[in-house]
Amino acid sequence: MCGITAVLSRRASIDPQTMHAGMTSLHHRGPDGRQHWMASDGRVALGHTRLSIIDLATGDQPISNEDRTIHIVVNGEFYDFERVRADLQARGHRFRTKSDSEIALHLYEDYGPECLHHLRGEYAFIIWDERNQRMIAGRDRFGVKPLFYAEHDGALYLASEAKALMAMGVPARWSAEAVYAGGFVLPGERTLFDGVYAVPPGHFLRATREAHRVHQYWDVDYPRDDAPAAPRTDAEYVEGFRAVLEQAVKTRLRADVPVGCYLSGGIDSCAVLGLASLHHDGPIHAYTLTFDGAQYDESAIAKEMAARAGAVYQPIPMTQADLAANFRAAVIQSEIPFINGHTVAKYMLSRAVRESGYKVVLTGEGSDEILAGYPHFRRDMLLHHTEGQDPDETSRLLRELTENNQVSRGLLLPEGDADTGTACTTLLGFVPSWLEAMSGSFGRLRALMRDDFIQPRCGTDVIGSLLASLDVERRLKGRNAVHSALYLWAKTVLPHYILSNLGDRMEMSHSIEGRVPFMDHHVAEYLQRVPVSLKIRGMTEKYILREAVKDVVTTTVYERQKHPFLSPPATLHPDEPLHTLMQDTLRSTTAANVPFLDHKKLVAALDDVARPGADFGHQVVMDQPLTLALSFVFMHEGLGMTS
């Protein structure tokens, strides 16, 4: 994994200092080397900061083709690259390096932008094609690797992070519409920053000196419910899933440096570790975050799993003081607000892993997004898959679901009233439970915002705007409720939060490459054809995964219900440093300077959660908007936002 930048100027020559500034801001993504290439006319440039994982000796970038007419910079990994490389060499291509990155360059020579269909992995890349005078910037199918762009002062800028665009001269301004929407329920190309856009997952940007345009090359595609069912038994589905998942894990063990594993008490990371142990030479190092409080700590389960897999177990203790000391640095690196201190914990986990001498880890992110693992998907199953259900039993199960998920109240299940607009019900016939929960959470955040910021936007249908950016007719109509909810989640929270705040940004903050087998498109495409009843069986989530990896995980993990990865809320620990940080920062003049937050409302909310005898549930629910507000304060100050 690395950091990449590019500039395509339509007028003046590019100042080399512009490239240096962008690459310097991405040093954490690539501390092992820094280089850039500039066209002879000075109006096109590519920059690269390198984290060396494969081909440690000759893999520096940018890389050029045989006649030096096509140039590339890559962030990420391409898997199964040796086979692709051999095929390209047989067709006459000559390679300058032994790295996986170079295959994209030669595939582009043969296929143009269609080369994206021949790539497997987590990646973002930028190509300058001199012969055709065009720039192609592609991003992987689920958006594991970030890629941003902006038009400014006669030039197109691209980079792995928004802060690099700002370092190169793009103004640092908030997008009022995106802030109002909360930052996560946004179309794939939108960001929190005015004029800064993301190349959406499964898309590529094509740019010339005249204009640029974004094109889609892949999409999540659940079959319609009236499509003919495959003549397969449950056992056959399970066997097929085991094969494709194990292959995804195996191929991600390929590296020229040691590969470790992040491990929690959940079945996702345990499955990855269990399958990896079958193909790894020697014990795998497994790193586990530990927290104070039995509701949040999974170390005992993780330790048992590590022993089962023959792994070297390394716990990483995490306290409220640790979270407080690192919150500001983590959210500035993320560029996306936090809903919980779990993101700070991942930031510190990556630092500990790097300090232990590792820079590649396998992770379980993305499993819940393709296997319907979260409780809100089970709620949708109960509410909208009602054929043959006893209404009384359904009501009992809904109550049980809520009672079993107290630590994520208002986050993963709806809490209180929420304004979800009308478009969702009109177009889909229902509102996914996660959109209800998210709307409620951001409604509570808006209650902390200035009236003159909120009033011009009252009545905005945030969910309707999201749906307007999607092909509802082809991708959502005729699908069941769970698959529709999964599709919408994959377009929003997955790239905007899960793969960023709990993945790439926190890992790359300390030069750690995270590899995500569940986001392998072969795994995802297989599961898209699996009936929803194999994803949720009764009240058992991720049923097909449990059966597929039963032989490589512990009984404890196999039988355990989904427990979201969360750190203890600051609002529940009034004597701890994270609570003090929240109280002191949100009461300060620094918070008053954020143009959309209302200082008086913040202080009132802080008083309310800190009062003696405050209700536990209310404190848990209010921790989310207050943590979001705290994030915005540090982002505004740390990123140098001007408005």
| Catalytic annotation, residues | 2
Give me 388's structure tokens: 């043959």
Instruction: Find out whether the peptide bond into 391 is cis, omega within 30 degrees of 0.
Output: no
The CA distance from 411 to 342, in Å, is 13
Q: Half-sphere exposure of residue 183, counting CA atoms within 13 Å on the CB side?
A: 24
Residues in the chain: 643
For the CA atoms of 475, 476, 480, 482, what is the dihedral angle to 10 degrees?
90
**Is the sign of the CA dihedral 139, 141, 144, 149 positive or negative?**
positive
Please report, as a single letter, which amino acid is at residue 579.
H
Question: Sign of torsion, CA 274 279 284 287?
Answer: negative
Sequence-distant (6+) residues with CB within 8 A of 189 are: 197, 198, 199, 200, 214, 469
Beta bridge partners of 46: 6, 37
Phi, psi of 213 (to 5 degrees): -150, 145
CB contact at 8 A, 264 and 298: yes
Nearest 10 degrees: Cα torsion 397, 403, 409, 410:
30
> Cα(10)–Cα(251) distance, rounded to whole angstroms?
42
Q: How far apart are CA 164 and CA 78, in angstroms?
A: 24
253 CA to centre of own chain? 21
Task: Please state, in angstroms and as integers, the Cα–Cα distance from residue 202 to each residue in 363, 490, 615, following that order.
Answer: 21, 11, 44
Using an 8 Å Cβ cutoff, are 165 and 134 in contact? no
| Nearest-10 crossing angle of helices 267-277, 234-251 | 70
- Give the integer Cα–Cα distance in Å for 621 and 403: 15
d(CA 369, CA 494): 7
Greatest CA separation found in the chain?
75
Look up residue 168 and give its two tokens. Answer: 């190169």
Q: Which residue matches tokens 């959470």?
A: 441
- Judge whether 14 and 38 are in contact, CB under 8 Å: yes
According to DSSP, residue 156 is labeled E
Residue 57 burial class via C-beta count within 10 angstroms: exposed 0-12, middle 13-18, buried 19 and up: exposed
